[in-house]
Structure 1
Amino acid sequence: MLWKAILCRSCARRLPREVLWRVALGARHASSSTLGVERIRNIGISAHIDSGKTTLTERVLFYTGRISAMHEVRGKDNVGATMDSMELERQRGITIQSAATYTTWKDTNINIIDTPGHVDFTIEVERALRVLDGAVLVLCAVGGVQSQTLTVNRQMNRYNVPRIAFINKLDRLGANPDRVLQQMRAKLHQNAAMIHVPIGLEAHHKGVVDIVRNRAVYFSGEFGTEVTEGDVPTNLVDLVSKRRKELIEQLAEVDDGLAEIFLSDQEPTVQDIMAAIHRSVVARKFTPVLLGSALKNKGVQLMLDAVLNYLPKPSEVENFAIDNTNGGEQVPLNSARDGSQPCVALSFKLEAGRFGQLTYIRMYQGSLKRGDTLSNTRTGKKVKVSRLVQMHANKMEARFLF
């Protein structure tokens, strides 16, 4: 459900019961937000160091209108990327701590955690992945599957996180997305297939062909904000047809609905393929691979569309709590945001900073508002919620959406 901090969000799936919180005194509150769970996505962006996670997040925030100007990771303009708020992060050009933010794309609220890629800070990735409904795995078109990519992939598997993949940096010399796809299959053991074909590589990268819709997509303008569509270039028609056939075959192997269409020798519609990808991603049987270059402002809008179309809604993820009053029985949680159920949430990160101690939590059931009393199921202590805010990197923003 919704990230909020001082109390943000976290995941009760397969997590220790001692960090579960429950509203005491049987409090129930109707949610003041009209945003249903079908219009919420809780995602993380993870990858090996220098694959372009933070640059991608910066573009996401810009294209969704969350920020008015894009800045680069190393802070050469003395500003730096939004999600790298620490001075050391801007000096070194790396992400050290995970940062949470939220934005809106096509009337859907997307809550994002940008995670570090360096092995020394992998615990930040671990605690973030525990609370995600879905994730974007970013890979470098030159470096491919690297050491920390393997670690992040294992962490996603450990917490059963559905994912889409984004092969970044197609503008770099030596970019080879086909080789990266083969590495994903061989090293990550992913049932993966491209849903994009690049229109040019390296200095000639102009855009991508959307295989599902069979349309060429170009990104122009100073910041890539002008998105235009056209027919597939003639020199790519055969390759697109081959890749589309490969995509349908791999989906048919894991999705019964598309398999029935495939075996009937019928041509699946765009809606059939999109629905099959969504079902397969949610079931963690398939990983669609998208292409682009975040630094050159290409492909990010299509990645946002894929987040909405293919990654799960909170209601499509099964979460369980431990009922300590009933012998430790596992209880399925109801993600409906109507306030009819007792509040169940999980704290996943404590942060001591200029605002004092912040506790990030994930809401799984029920609702929460300022003044409610929570019970820590590990210690039995009751805690009054003095303030609720949303975090935008290192900025605290008061919200009353519960």
Structure 2
Amino acid sequence: MSISTEVARRRTFAIISHPDAGKTTLTEKLLLFAGAIQIAGSVKARKASRHASSDWMEIEKQRGISVASSVMQVEYRDTVINLLDTPGHQDFSEDTYRVLTAVDAALMVIDAANGVEPQTIRLLQVCRARNTPIITFVNKLDREVREPLDLLSEIESHLGMDAVPFAWPVGMGKSFGGVFDIRRGRMRVFKAGSDRLSDQHDEIIEGLDNPEIANRFGAAFTQARGEIDLIEGAAPPFDEAEFLAGRQTPVFFGSAINNFGVQEVLDALVDMAPPPGPRHALQREVRPDEPKFSGVVFKVQANMDPAHRDRVAFVRVCSGRFERGMRLKVARTGKETRPNNVVSFLSQRRELLEEAYAGDVIGIPNHGVLQLGDVLSEGENLQFTGLPFFAPELFQAVEVADPLRTKQLRTGLTQLGEEGAIQVFRPVAGGSLLLGAVGQLQFEVVAHRLKTEYGVTARMMPSRYSMARWITADEPRDLKKFMDANMQHIAYDVVEAPAFLIGSSAQLRVAQELYPNVQFHALREHGGQVFQKKVGDSAFA
């Protein structure tokens, strides 16, 4: 097949939600319905031998939460689906933000009992800033939940986009009868239990005016019928252009744990989500069907296989065709690499990859050669923008309990810092390494991973710092003057970008007044190369 034909077959999307909305369960069921796995792991059965395919870390299996994003590729209806599961917990939002730079669409999961929650709003703001198309799945209709009209109104008010229901629930909780497909004019009857591998065997009742529906579902259908009439009169019709621009979201209802409504979502992703589009580099716009390969590292994961102490760079293919063993240039270093053991993923299950096309996510095992944001190409110098690191809000000093394990501590922290699991700062004046995080749970995960993956018991201690700003200056002498005068508060991160560590916002204001030629940045992009001076409220609130 031609490159353009292969690109047209790709659908690359992330699943996003607030914690406990059922995101990882839905991920499992999408893989199940696509035929990629034979049995779904239970997210809640934490002590069971089965775990969610997308959760591979030991701490994830123990806690029953996702703390790292994972990548899965499946083929369904002659379409290659690249599905990226993301951490729901807000403490790991940086990882999620970076994943969202690698996708062409998003599937938003909403808990029907809780509605639109804070973490969902924050993630959706990032999607809106990138004009990412969003499909919405309202989950857990088999429980007592909020009224669907209220949920619809909340989606529109909080997310600032039109919500267009493609289906509508009939009842909820114990009276949940199923969903009515508004476009096809038929009802799919709900049956509890998660042993169905397809919606093909579900009972279908044709026609909104079919008396059988009213007879069987009584008041629940009467209410749903009135709401459907209201929606058809008030809601805007589905507009593909508005959806692709991120201004309209199709809404589906169901119960992922019962495999109900999953098929419709999977089909919608194939039918509606866009194939890979052009991506902007500093030098030019890169089209997906260009003949030459280019790709960007949006995630680095250490120790996916602890037995081999490996580091895998996750690369989003931006253009062309990848072939195993081809000569590629790393734009940051100018060095050439010929990756031969490139893999595709079904979470922790890997398969050796011979070729890939724009939209695919490939894994390149390496030993520190590739960093977050690195661009690989067949020779052209390209730099894709938008891979963010946020200034930490929490700090802890870290020391090793056994001084003989100091080398292992530094190795572990360097690798975890390079993968973005934590931010690591090395104070210029010496002393303990400092860890910076967006959320407290990051420290717990890092301590756990240091112990299990590197054999290091780390002591975490309070720090006097509460804020960090990366620093640059147009003139090198201005930067050196500032750093020399504030040596006790200067540290380098894992890419050797200098940062100013401070205890209060007042201290920052004084520094800005005394050194007007120095810029203080709350956000840096990969490699320390590009700093964004102002963080837009709409994108990174």
Q: Is the pair's TM-score, using the shorter chain for normalization, greater than 0.5? A: yes
- Structure 1 distance, partners of 2:150, 2:25, is 23
| Aligned-residue offset at 1:123 | 1.2
Specify the SS of the correspondent of 1:36: helix
| Aligned-residue offset at 1:384 | 2.1
Q: Which residue of 2 aligns with 1:44?
A: 14
Q: Which residue of 1 aligns with 2:402?
A: none
- Say whether residues 1:60 and 2:25 are aligned partners: no
- Which of 268, 279, 284 is equivalent to 1:319? 279
Specify the SS of the correspondent of 2:30: helix
- Which of 71, 79, 83 is equivalent to 1:112? 83
| Aligned-residue offset at 1:104 | 2.3
Q: Cα distance 1:282–1:370, how it changes in 2: closer, same or farther (>3 A)?
A: same
- Say whether residues 1:346 and 2:270 are aligned partners: no
| Aligned-residue offset at 1:88 | 1.3
- Say whether residues 1:243 and 2:243 are aligned partners: no
| 1:257-299 Cα distance to aligned partner (Å, 9 max, x none) | xxxxxxxxxxxxxxxx5xx3x3321122211111111012211
% identical aligned pairs: 31
Q: Which residue of 1 aligns with 2:195?
A: 223
- Structure 1 distance, partners of 2:14, 2:64, is 19
- Say whether residues 1:377 and 2:331 are aligned partners: yes
Q: Cα distance 1:96–1:196, how it changes in 2: closer, same or farther (>3 A)?
A: same
Q: What CA RMSD, in Å, does the superposition of the two structures yield over aligned residues?
A: 2.1
| Aligned-residue offset at 1:107 | 1.9
- Which of 286, 290, 311 is equivalent to 1:357? 311
Single out whichever of 54-63 and 218-227 deviates more from structure 2. Answer: 218-227
- Say whether residues 1:302 and 2:264 are aligned partners: yes
- Structure 1 distance, partners of 2:293, 2:282, is 13
What is the identity, as a one-letter code, of the residue corresponding to 1:242?
L
Q: Which residue of 1 aligns with 2:40?
A: 70
TM-score, normalized by length of structure 1? Answer: 0.78
Specify the SS of the correspondent of 2:263: helix
- Structure 1 distance, partners of 2:140, 2:205, is 23
Specify the SS of the correspondent of 2:122: helix
Specify the SS of the correspondent of 1:335: coil
Q: Cα distance 1:88–1:206, how it changes in 2: closer, same or farther (>3 A)?
A: farther
| Aligned-residue offset at 1:121 | 0.8
Q: Are the counterparts in 1 of residues 194 and 258 from structure 2 also a CA contact under 8 Å? A: no
Q: Are the counterparts in 2 of residues 211 and 243 from structure 1 also a CA contact under 8 Å? A: no
Q: Are the counterparts in 1 of residues 60 and 67 from structure 2 also a CA contact under 8 Å? A: yes
- Structure 2 distance, partners of 1:102, 1:245, is 40
Q: Which residue of 1 aligns with 2:51?
A: 80
Q: Which residue of 1 aligns with 2:425?
A: none
Specify the SS of the correspondent of 2:257: coil
- Say whether residues 1:334 and 2:287 are aligned partners: yes
Q: Which residue of 2 aligns with 1:386?
A: 340
Single out whichever of 214-223 and 91-100 deviates more from structure 2. Answer: 214-223
Q: Which residue of 2 aligns with 1:23?
A: none
| Aligned-residue offset at 1:34 | 9.8
| 1:105-160 Cα distance to aligned partner (Å, 9 max, x none) | 22211110011111111112111100000000111101111110111111212332
Q: Cα distance 1:390–1:219, how it changes in 2: closer, same or farther (>3 A)?
A: farther
| Aligned-residue offset at 1:242 | 2.8
Q: Cα distance 1:399–1:206, how it changes in 2: closer, same or farther (>3 A)?
A: farther
| Aligned-residue offset at 1:222 | 5.0
Q: Which residue of 2 aligns with 1:147?
A: 118
Specify the SS of the correspondent of 2:174: helix
| Aligned-residue offset at 1:320 | 2.3
What is the identity, as a one-letter code, of the residue corresponding to 1:335?
P
Q: Which residue of 2 aligns with 1:7?
A: none
Specify the SS of the correspondent of 1:279: helix
- Which of 345, 349, 355 is equivalent to 1:401? 355
Matches within 5 A, 1:50-199: 50-76=20-46, 77-199=48-170
TM-score, normalized by length of structure 2? Answer: 0.59
- Structure 2 distance, partners of 1:375, 1:369, is 14
Q: Cα distance 1:150–1:237, how it changes in 2: closer, same or farther (>3 A)?
A: closer
What is the identity, as a one-letter code, of the residue corresponding to 1:141?
A
What is the identity, as a one-letter code, of the residue corresponding to 1:74?
K
- Structure 1 distance, partners of 2:319, 2:194, is 44
| Aligned-residue offset at 1:188 | 1.7
Q: Which runs of 4+ in 1 moved over 6 A?
A: none
| Aligned-residue offset at 1:219 | 4.8
Single out whichever of 184-193 and 134-143 deviates more from structure 2. Answer: 184-193
Structure of larger gyration radius:
2
- Structure 1 distance, partners of 2:173, 2:291, is 53
- Structure 1 distance, partners of 2:132, 2:341, is 30
Q: Cα distance 1:171–1:222, how it changes in 2: closer, same or farther (>3 A)?
A: closer
Q: Are the counterparts in 2 of residues 346 and 363 from structure 1 also a CA contact under 8 Å? A: yes
Specify the SS of the correspondent of 1:307: helix
| 1:225-283 Cα distance to aligned partner (Å, 9 max, x none) | 32342223343444323323334xx23xxxxxxxxxxxxxxxxxxxxx5xx3x332112
- Say whether residues 1:281 and 2:214 are aligned partners: no
Q: Are the counterparts in 1 of residues 341 and 353 from structure 2 also a CA contact under 8 Å? A: no
What is the identity, as a one-letter code, of the residue corresponding to 2:69?
S
- Structure 2 distance, partners of 1:370, 1:318, is 24
| Aligned-residue offset at 1:361 | 0.6
What is the identity, as a one-letter code, of the residue corresponding to 2:195?
F
Q: Unpaired segments of 5 or more residues in structure 1?
A: 1-29, 252-272, 324-329
Q: Are the counterparts in 2 of residues 219 and 299 from structure 1 also a CA contact under 8 Å? A: no
